[in-house]
Amino acid sequence: MLLCGTSVSFMHEEVRRSIQELERDRKTDFDIMEASPSEGNIGIDSVRELTEFLASPPVYATRRYGIVIDADRLTSQASNAFLKILEEHRPDSVVILLSQRCDELLETVKSRCLRLHFSYPVSRVQAIISKYKEFKAFKALMMEDYEILCFLERMGESSASVETFLQACRRYGKLGEEELVTAVTELLEKDSPEGRLLFHCWFREFLNRVGSATASTDAELILKLSKVRKGELLNRIVLESLHTLREFVLVFGSSAWHLTRSPDMLKQAALLHCDLELGTIVEQLRWFLAVASRKVENLNSEAAVFVALLRLKRLLRGEKNC
C-alpha cells in the first residue's frame, strides 16, 4: 500500500493504530519493522534489511509489516532494490509506504502499490484554535506535525497548563540578546512537541529582533548565533521559515495552501547539504516579512506567495543572489 497525505506523522500513527486493531491483543514488536531516512535518504542497506525481515514468517502476529516512512526519500538504487519486495513478498506480509510527496516516487514503485489518500483531521485543528485563540500561531505546525496537534489537544484539557505554556512562549520577548542566544542552545536539545513549539516562539522573536534592529546590532546578533551549533541551527531555521511562509499563506485560505507543498521545494529542504550563511537566510526572511506586512488586498496574494516560494527554493539550492 502507498499512503499519501499532508502529514507523514499522522499516517504513521494511524497505521500503527490500525495494525494493533487488526492484530487485537497479539504482540507485534517482533513483526513490525520500519525504515526511515538517515542523513536525508533511505539507502539500499535499509531496503536489504527490510527484505530479509519480510522473508521470514511472523512470530506472534498474523502478518509481518514493513513500514517505509517518507518513502519518496528512497534513493534510486534503493527504489530499484525495493521492487523485489513489492513483487515477491510472502503472502503473510504487508508492505506500507508513507509519503507526503507520492509523485516523487519512481513510477515502477507506484504502479505496484494500491494508492490511498489519507485526509488530515483539519476539523481538530480548527477546534483547538477556536477554544484557544493564542494557538492560531501554531496552525501551520499543527497542519503538518500530528504529534504537535495531539500535544496541544491534551494541553487544552487544562486551562492552567495552557497558561503556563503561553507564559513560557512569551518569555522570549523579555530576554536580552545574550539570553536569547543561550535560550536557543537549550531548545536545540529538546526534540519533543513542546520543544518544537517553543523553538517556533523563539524563532518569531528572533525575526522581530532582526526586523527592528539597527545594522550593527543585527550583525552582532547574527554573529553570536552563528557560533551556536551552526549546522543544526541552520536546518531548524530553514524549516521554521517554511512554517512562517505557511502561516502567511493560511491568511488567504486553502486556495493558496497547495503552493507551500511544492514537492521540489520541500525535497530541497529535506536534502539540504549546502552550508548557507545565516545572514543569507535572514535577508530572505526579512523579505518574506515585508511582503506579509503590506496591504496584501492590493496584491495578487497567490502570486506574491508563489514568488516568495521560488526565492526560498533558489536559496535552498545555494543560489545566494536570488
What does 110-124 look like in DSSP terms, one character per residue?
Answer: HTTS-EEEE---HHH
Q: Any residues with CB less than 8 A from the CB of 175 and at least 6 apart, and which?
A: 183, 205
Q: Using alpha carbons, select from 88, 46, 90, 40 the residue that is nearest to residue 67.
A: 46
Of the options 3.40.50.2300, 3.90.650.10, 3.30.830.10, 3.40.50.300, the CATH number for the domain spanning 2-118: 3.40.50.300
Measure the CA–CA gap between 66 and 169, rounded to whole angstroms.
39
Specify the DSSP class assigned to residue 211: H
In the chain, domain spans: 2-118, 121-228, 229-322
Which grid coordinates belong to 91? 503472502
Instruction: Give the torsion through C-alpha atoms of 301, 306, 308, 312, to 10 deg.
Output: 160
Closest listed residue to residue 155, CA positions, set 195, 188, 128, 187:
128
Which cell numbers hold the place of 25?
A: 491483543
Q: How would you write the pLDDT of the chain (322 residues) with one tens digit per residue?
A: 999 988 889 999 999 999 999 998 898 889 999 998 876 688 899 999 999 999 999 999 999 999 999 998 888 888 888 898 888 889 999 999 999 878 778 889 999 999 998 888 989 999 999 999 999 888 888 888 899 999 999 999 999 999 999 999 999 989 887 888 888 888 887 889 999 999 989 888 877 776 565 555 656 666 676 666 666 676 677 667 666 666 555 544 433 334 444 444 433 433 333 444 555 555 555 555 555 554 444 444 445 555 555 555 555 455 555 4
**For residues 137 and 154, what is the distance between their CA atoms, to the nearest angstrom?**
17
* Structure confidence at residue 241 (pLDDT): 67
CA 250 to chain centre: 16
For the chain, helix, strand, coil in percent to 5 are 65, 10, 25
Instruction: Please report the pLDDT score of residue 238 as a whole number.
Output: 64
Which DSSP state fits 79?
A: H
Query: Given this model, what pLDDT does residue 298 score?
Result: 43
If residue 190 lies in a helix (H) or strand (E), which one and from where to where? none
In this structure, are strands 93-99 and 32-35 parallel, antiparallel, or unpaired?
unpaired
Find how far residue 36's CA is from the centre of its chain.
14
Phi–psi pair at 227, nearest 5 degrees: -95, 0
What is the DSSP pairing of strand 64-68 with strand 32-35?
parallel
Q: What is the pLDDT of residue 89?
A: 84
Name the pTM for this structure.
0.69
Q: Which residue has the cell 513490525?
A: 32
DSSP 90-108: -TTEEEEEEES-GGGS-HH
